[in-house]
Each structure stands twice: as C-alpha cells, then as structure tokens.
A and B are shown apart, each in its own frame.
Chain A
Amino acid sequence: MEAGIGVETVVAASSVPDTGTVTNCVIDVSGLTKRYGTLWALSGVDLKVQAGECIALLGPNGAGKTTTVEILEGYRRATAGSVAVLGEDPNRAGPDWRSRIGIVLQDATDQGQLTVTEVVRHFATYYPNRREPDEVIEAVGLSGKRRSRVASLSGGQRRRLDVALGIIGRPELLFLDEPTTGFDPEARRQFWDLAAGLRRDGTTVVLTTHYLDEAEHLADRVAVVAGGCLVADDTPAGLRQGPTTVTWRDRQGKVCRSETTAPTRLVSELAATFGGEVPELAVQRPTLESAYLRLLAAHGGAAKDVAA
C-alpha cells in the first residue's frame, strides 16, 4: 500500500521550484540562541535548508535538538539570533504560514475517542490546500483502521496517524520528530518508503532521529547538535570520511588493528607478508555511527547525554 504513493509524476516534482517566486531557502537560521533561565540550550546555531532537501538533526538527548525544531515550528521563541522559515519568523507567523508546514509530533496521545477517519477529516478542514483524507489514510497504511477509535491503535499505527495529520495540509515543509521510534523493522521500511515518496514530490523535510541508519537512508544532509552547538553539517558520505580500519590476526595469534587512509596498500602488503590469505582480515570503512560517536566524543556531547 505504501508503494502507491511513491509513484509520482516527475513533472509535478520538477515544477515545484518554478512556482516559488521567493528564495529557495526554506530554513535560514543564524546565531540561534536559546536560554532557559541559566541554562543555555542553544548557543549560536547557523543552519540553512534548501527547498526539497531532507536534513536530519542528530544529537544526544538534551543537546538542543528538540529546542531547535520547536523554534523552527513556531512553538518557542528564540532568545537571540535570526530565524526565517518559509520566509517568516515562525514565532510571529500566522495561519497562512502554518498552512504551509506540517508537524509530526513525537508522543501525542490525543483524540483517543474519535475514529481515524473522523480525526483526519476534521484536521483536513483546517487547511486550504488539503489532500483527500481517504487517500492520505490509505497512503499511511491505515485503510483497515478507518473506523477504529484512535485509542485502540497500536503504537506504530498511532504514529502513522500522526504522519497522516502532518501531511494532510499538503505541506511544503514537514517536520518529523523521531517518526519511527517504537516501529518494528518492517514498519520502519514502510515509513521510509512513504517519506521517500514525499521527498520525490519536493517536500522539504526536517527529521530528528536517534537512528543513524534512518538518517543515512532518508537525509541529504546530517546536522549534529551537541551541547547546544552545531558540531557538524555535512552529507552522510561527507561525515563518514576518515581512516579505514583494517584488522587481522598475526602469526602469534594476536589481533592487529590499523587505521589507514590507504587500506588497499596495507592489504596488499599484508598479503605479501602472509604469502596468501591473511587470517581474519577485515576492512571496514567508517560508518555514520562511528563518525557520529567520534564527533560527540570530540565535543563532550556523549558525557552530556549521560548527564541529561
């Protein structure tokens, strides 16, 4: 059922930039600072997101990820810095601006007494350029649950409803806050397909997640927030740059490990040394996860995570 949404016309996607008479920069943030009492949750974050991009915000709990997103969504006011989302300050923006964004909340348990159809239809009435409620319900894979009370949905179904409510208004910019937490692997794959379909249609996506494979799969760019600062902003491939790890077992039976930028040369040297097969040879390119953990270690973010 999710496969259906992916099949979209290329024409629709490519015509999107043409309709935008204003700048293509959907999110333009500079010097973003947020203070709660004496706690500096964010100190000077700069971030730009272009139309049609998918950016993943990563970071340990308490690093400022949620604060950043909530400022972009218009829920919180920045202490200092300039914030422009779709050309407006989210904190002052009105209903017209909100009709262009979609928000998928992280842990809402509302509307329990209503049925899926009732909720989606009701929220559709808020939006001028709405999608067809029944089609959205089908797109998120809840067709079989149309008449079920929301309170009776499973955790994964509940999140699909959240996604349905996030996209019912045909948003140009969609915020996905940890959208697949609690999903089983299959449900996560289906969600990724859904997100890919939205991407193909030109929707700009801001994703926060704890899953690095999810960021790698969905995002064009990964921004890492730690200790209230943006410590990295690059493509997943760019973040993975770094030495390759080669491990093998030497003649004494000891496991050897070398980090090198020339793994091929090292392997051929090893092959020559051993005169054939190298025992337990493994060559591992840096993963996003190892790059991420290295970043956090370098910025003391991991320690902060434990404290938070």
Chain B
Amino acid sequence: MTGPTPPSLLSPSSPGAHPASSDSSLSGSTIRRTLELGFRRVRIELLALVRNPLAVVFTLAFPLVMLGIFGSVFSGAVAPGVSFTEYFTAGMIASGAFYAGFQNLGIAVPLERDNGSLKRLRGTPMPPAAYFVGKTGMVLVVYMAQVAILIGLGSALFGLHPPASLGRWVTFAWVSLLGLAACSLSGLALSGLIRRSEAAAAIVSPIVVVLQFVSGVYFQYNLLPGWMRSVGSFFPLRWLALGMRSVFLPAGFARLEPGGGGWQHGTTALVLLGWAVAALAVASWRFRWFREQRS
C-alpha cells in the first residue's frame, strides 16, 4: 500500500471530495444564497472600481472638483441666510445619487456586456439576482462615500449645515433611497438601450450635465426660465435636488421653490417612485447578458 491516493484535482463529480463545500450547496435557501453571493459581488465590484482610476475620477472625485470650482467662484447669497455654496452643495449631494446610480451603471453595464463579463456570469450557477445585489451594494457604498465627503467638505468650507433634526435625517434617508432607486434603474434601463459600450460615456455624460443645468443644480432652480423648469420637472434629478434642499437648507427657503412654495415631498416621492417603476420595466425588457451578434 502506498497510502491514500491524493485527491484528484481534475476528477469530475466526485461526491464527498469536498464535503464542507458541497454542504453550502444550491439546495440551500435561494434567497440566502443570492444575498451571500451578492455581498461577495459587492466586494468584487468595489475592488474593481477603486483600481480603475477613470471610474474613481468620474464617480467619486468629479462632484468634489465641481464643488471646489463653484464654491470658489460664486460666493454670494441666494436668499437671506443661504449662501450659494450651501445651495450648491445640496444640489451636488443630489447629483451624487445621479453619478453613483445613473452614470455609473449607464457606462459600466454596457461595458460589462461587451467584454464578456455578464455572459460569463450568466454561465455560472450564480443566481442572476446576485449580480444586481452586487450593483446595488456598490452604488450604495459609492453614494455614501460621496455624501460623507460632500457633507464634510461642505460643512467645513462652504457653510453647509448637516441635518440637525431626526426628521431631516429621515427625509434624507428616503429621498436618498428613492432617488438612488430611480437613478440606478434608469441607468440600467439606458444600458439596455445602448448598443455599443464605446458610445456609452458619450450618451450618458451629456444627459447628466444637461439635467444638472435644468434641475437647478448649477443654477438656482427658481431663477430658471419657466420652460426649462418644466423640462426639468419631468426628470428625477430636479425632485432629488428639491428633496436635498429640504434636508440641508433652512425651512424658510421653501417659500422660494416654484410650484406653490413648499418642499412638495409627496410629489417628490411620487415622481421618483414613478421613474423607478418605469425604468425597472424598461430594464427588464431590454437587459441582455451578452451582445447580440448577427453575421
């Protein structure tokens, strides 16, 4: 006897070869398995993100650069007791959800479809939902990092007041979550409509910039021309920005908001939810795990 045969590396379907690992098999709760792999994907997504200098610049550093430029150039007040930088920081936090959700997914998902990433995943036993759990987690972490930096920098340099009451934090939480849902799902829906990943950045980035202008991020919303406000009101960013102003600006500022003078939380929630639902419908209709090729 020469002792036990070493475990065969490449022998297929040898039951009992890995009793420990086959226990955590697919027969376990599907939801638990989806979440477990989803969390692993969050880690992988973040790892890939922080190692990609372009992605870090686009999603994390860009809002800070804009804050730095605008905060240094414009120093006036938009209303008694409200500086432009304070107003602008609230708008950039709203934009943060837009960068983390819409821009991030709108550019990354077509790329992952074209480079075989999604096709590879679809060929594994990973539950497809785990991929979306991974993206959701990654978007949340990126958003929270952005917000933490923006609130920190805004409070230190630009006169921003972090929410002082529980009510405002609650508002911040639901506006953030609904906003992230609307923006991420819109990004996912758009990714399904973009045929070639090379074009993704050229399609997504202008949408982001234009919406920031018509939604009152770069300029005061109440001073925009009526038609521009009407255009902006169709899209989630305008409502997200309004919601963030209700969190970070004094209550009195609500008087200046067009549309009845108030924070309009009900309308904000409805519009963001509506966008989330509609975008989810488009995304599930258009999402593809690999590039369609016809010869």
Contacts and interface: CB of A to CB of B under 8 A. Distances in A.
B21 A129 contact: yes
B24 interface: yes
A12 B11 contact: yes
A171 B12 contact: yes
Nearest to B295: A62
Interface string A276-308: 000000000000000000000000000000001
Interface string A116-139: 001000110111111110011001
Nearest to A109: B115
Interface of A: 4-5, 8-9, 11-13, 15-16, 19, 36, 39, 61-62, 73-75, 95-96, 98-101, 103, 105, 107-114, 118, 122-123, 125-132, 135-136, 139, 149, 165, 167, 169-172, 197-198, 201-203, 308
Contacts of B11: 8-9, 12-13, 16, 170, 201-202
B124 interface: yes
5 contacts: A8-B10, A110-B117, A114-B48, A126-B126, A170-B13
Nearest to A119: B44
Interface in B114-131: 115-117, 119-120, 122-127
Contact of B24 (A103, A112, A128): A128
Interface of B: 5, 8-15, 17-18, 21-22, 24-27, 37, 40, 44, 47-48, 51-52, 112, 115-117, 119-120, 122-127, 289-290, 294-295
Contacts of A36: 294
A96 B125 contact: yes
Contact of A198 (B10, B24, B52, B127): B10
Contact of B37 (A114, A126, A130, A202): A126
A111 B119 CA distance: 12
A9 B18 CA distance: 17
B51 A113 contact: yes
B5 A11 contact: yes
Given A130-B21, A170-B12, A172-B12, 12 more contacts: A8-B9, A8-B10, A96-B125, A99-B26, A108-B117, A110-B112, A111-B117, A125-B40, A128-B25, A129-B22, A129-B25, A308-B295
Contacts of A130: 18, 21
Contacts of A118: 44, 47
Nearest to B111: A110
Q: Which 7 A-B pairs have the closest CB atoms?
A: A108-B116, A110-B117, A128-B25, A95-B125, A99-B125, A113-B51, A12-B11
A132 B123 CA distance: 20
Contact of B116 (A62, A107, A139, A169): A107
B10 A111 contact: no
Nearest to A101: B123
Contacts of A128: 21-22, 24-26, 125
B44 A114 contact: yes
Contacts of B40: 122, 125
A283 B52 CA distance: 60
Contact of A111 (B48, B122, B290): B48
A126 B48 contact: no
Contact of A108 (B12, B22, B26, B120): B120
Given A96-B26, A98-B125, A122 B44 contact: yes
A75 B47 contact: no
Contacts of B295: 61-62, 308
Nearest to B41: A122
A293 to B, nearest CB: 21
B12 to A, nearest CB: 5
Nearest to A128: B25
A8 B8 contact: yes
A102 to B, nearest CB: 8
Contact of B47 (A62, A113, A132, A198): A113
Nearest to B117: A110
Given A171-B12, A201-B11, A105 B120 contact: yes
Nearest to B49: A113
Contacts of B116: 105, 107-110
Nearest to B30: A95
A171 B124 CA distance: 11
B211 to A, nearest CB: 29
Contacts of A4: 9
A123 B40 CA distance: 10
A113 B115 CA distance: 13
A128 B47 CA distance: 24
A16 B11 CA distance: 9
Contact of A95 (B9, B13, B126): B126
Contacts of A129: 13, 15, 17-18, 21-22, 25
A109 B37 CA distance: 22
Contacts of A75: 119, 122-123, 289-290
Nearest to A63: B295
Contact of A19 (B15, B125, B289): B15
B10 A167 contact: yes
